[in-house]
Amino acid sequence: MEALGSLGWFLLQFILIIGLISFIFFGVGSFFSKPKFNKQNENIEQKLDRIIELLEKERKD
C-alpha cells in the first residue's frame, strides 16, 4: 500500500511538472506568434481604407 501511495505522489508531481513546462512553452510561443484576430483587424482596416478612398474619389467627381 505504501508503494502505491508513493507512486501516486510521483505521478501527481510528474503531471504537474509536465503541465508547468507545457504552460511555459505555450506562453513563450504565443508571445512570439502573431494572434489571428490582429490579422483579421488588419484585413478589415485595409478594406475600410479602400472604401474611404473610393468614397472620397466619388465625392470629388
Q: What is the 3-state secondary structure (H, E, C) of the chain?
A: CHHHHHHHHHHHHHHHHHHHHHHHHHHHHHHHCCCHHHHHHHHHHHHHHHHHHHHHHHHHC
Give the pLDDT score at 30.
74
Tens of pLDDT along the chain (61 residues) come to: 566 788 888 999 999 999 999 999 888 877 777 666 667 778 888 999 999 999 998 888 7
The CA distance from 48 to 36, in Å, is: 19
Give the pLDDT score at 14.
96
Set of cell numbers at residue 50: 479602400
Give the pLDDT score at 16.
97
Set of cell numbers at residue 36: 489571428
The number of angstroms, rounded, from the C-alpha of 41 to the middle of its chain's C-alpha atoms is 15
Give the pLDDT score at 34.
67
